Structure 1
């Protein structure tokens, strides 16, 4: 099953309120990744399923639009969605949340499969140590701040390959090669006659933050950010400014879910990352670091504050009604 068909099928199932099928399939894909992980999640499937049902039942319209693959485009046109999202943004100042980045142009459209394939080739050129690519890599490394100076005695240095411990990280190279393999697979999975049409599901990145506004600002400034995502965005800017692309693809940022229980923090990030298929391996996005490993801040929030968040979810979201629908489905 291709990424496109999987996401399309999950979207259809969720619109028909079939939470359990989708949750089961997502968890079957995602949970094995954490069998030896330090991420704190229940060992039994039942409480994880319950948390995922709560997530889907309380999800705002912005979440649904993300699942459907239409969020950047619909947000530009749908005033109802914009109004609801304003409230989500207000709450996210005081409530932990899940955010996403989606690669799209100024009209909210994703790159085509062929455009994504060209981005892939640019990533491979960036990784290449041969002298012919040094100048290109330096251009890419200076698309965004901070500026990067390539020493004359080591022209193989790259901004997005350097870490605190090594100037050219083997781990980062391996991850970017995995990203390129995923893009190649997605290109092959796209029928040839559709490779010049915008992809239905934009490449994305998903994360958790206690304050998503602050975290998204870090990402905008490429501070403690995702190097795969940052590199791709800089390549897209380069392709636009050099007239290789008629559109300027960039990362569109959205907060898609408000967490209202401390037990949701890790599970929400794991589930949303799987549901939105944002992993480098399958060409769906830029996530390469296991979800749920940077969520300790949820434990710092007091019980009364969590109670207020849950009360808000029950009063303002579709949580109560959607849970009733789920119970009726089980009883039937």
Structure 2
């Protein structure tokens, strides 16, 4: 396992992002269970408390099975490219496009993802991103400072580009609604700078990011995606960066992709959390725009009637890929279950042997006590017998003290 806290770039967001990406890709190559476990093992993410709570409650293993099943509801090709971070480029394939088309999903509850890319799915380079971050610094610098005219001129172009917003020279900013948002944006800029600094050290400064900046969400209609496009009730960091890119020619913007239809109410929460981890969409290591715990705002998924979920299940079962995919995982689970049973049976047999050995040792202990008494009473006549028993009694003492466990097992 990669040590993400040490090494040449110890603690660098880009180094950690690279290490986590390799870990996820390797786990996915082995299977869904391994992928789920690898995703849940990632540290330093906003939803760590969600994972740790289930670990502390003893429910994590059951949760892993539920997450495995949910992951099997994502088309294998979509999941593969989601984990690899190249889903936007793969989307140019007509087959991928047909699998992820959104116009038929108006009555669905689904998990979607935004990627900051161009029309062919390519991310901006670290050098291009640095230029945008410099502009973002100027933009936020004038928040609450009406006298910063240079910042105001920059913010006016950005704030008025999308929609009907009217900027005023009063220190207010469209994409900053208070001190908390100011701090979050400032922290995000710092994290992304750290990420691209790693790219510079790896001689990738003018190459597209290996993993585009992304954001995962839950929606119950295509209207939610339209709100994001209009910068209404949306992620303010994501909107700000897109608006800045728009002032620089608009080559890069947040493109939307539907990952999968939820077939259970809980998949709204589970899907946001797990896909955010699969995609590295959290801001923690400069990989995404998601700066808040995923899954918190999807409680309304439980308000939908059963027919919504039934329809999604029917369509899933009609697909030509779901049954083979889930069957493959079930066969692996059955084999692992058989293996665990064999191990458990072997352990039971060993327990029986140890119990039998323990009984013998107890008898020897009784004999030892008896012999000690006899030794005190008939020392002269028992010296020879006791000398013969000393090695066995010494072994018994070692077993009792726990020093000979290895020898007993062998």
TM range, smaller chain: 0.7 to 0.9
Q: 1:36 to 1:54 in 2, by over 3 A?
A: closer
Q: 1:43 to 1:161 in 2, by over 3 A?
A: farther
Give the CA RMSD over aligned residues: 2.3
For the pair 1:286 / 2:289, whether they are aligned, the reply is yes
Which secondary structure state, in structure 2, belongs to the residue aligned with residue 159 of structure 1? coil
For the pair 1:303 / 2:293, whether they are aligned, the reply is no
**Mapped partners of 2:295, 2:187: distance in 1:** 21
For the pair 1:142 / 2:152, whether they are aligned, the reply is no
For the pair 1:55 / 2:70, whether they are aligned, the reply is yes
**Mapped partners of 1:46, 1:307: distance in 2:** 27
Deviation of 1:192 after TM superposition, in Å, equals 4.3
Q: 1:100 to 1:43 in 2, by over 3 A?
A: farther
Q: 1:215 to 1:186 in 2, by over 3 A?
A: same
Aligned length: 308
**Mapped partners of 1:111, 1:228: distance in 2:** 17
**Mapped partners of 1:262, 1:147: distance in 2:** 36
Give TM-score scaled by structure 2 length.
0.70
Consecutive unaligned residues of structure 2, counting only runs of 5 or more, are 5-14, 143-147, 337-410
Give yes or no for contact 1:143–1:238 (8 Å, CA) kept in 2: yes
**Mapped partners of 1:108, 1:217: distance in 2:** 20
Q: Map of 1:177-192 to 2, 5 A cutoff?
A: 177-190=186-199, 191-192=201-202
For the pair 1:98 / 2:98, whether they are aligned, the reply is no
Match of 2:97 among 79, 82, 93: 82
Higher helix share: 2
For the pair 1:215 / 2:224, whether they are aligned, the reply is yes
Match of 1:257 among 252, 255, 260: 260
Which secondary structure state, in structure 1, belongs to the residue aligned with residue 207 of structure 2? coil
Give TM-score scaled by structure 1 length.
0.85
Deviation of 1:148 after TM superposition, in Å, equals 2.2
For the pair 1:34 / 2:53, whether they are aligned, the reply is no
Deviation of 1:269 after TM superposition, in Å, equals 0.8
**Mapped partners of 1:298, 1:216: distance in 2:** 16
**Mapped partners of 2:230, 2:320: distance in 1:** 32
Deviations 1:187-209 (A, max 9, x none): 12223421110012110111001
Question: Which residue of structure 1 lines up, in the alignment, with residue 131 of structure 2?
Answer: 118
Match of 1:109 among 92, 113, 122: 122
Q: 1:235 to 1:208 in 2, by over 3 A?
A: same
Q: 1:32 to 1:65 in 2, by over 3 A?
A: closer
**Mapped partners of 1:43, 1:214: distance in 2:** 39
Consecutive unaligned residues of structure 1, counting only runs of 5 or more, are 163-168, 242-247
Question: Which residue of structure 2 lines up, in the alignment, with residue 10 of structure 1?
Answer: 24
Deviation of 1:35 after TM superposition, in Å, equals 7.3
**Mapped partners of 2:95, 2:131: distance in 1:** 36
Which secondary structure state, in structure 2, belongs to the residue aligned with residue 143 of structure 1? coil
Larger radius of gyration: 2
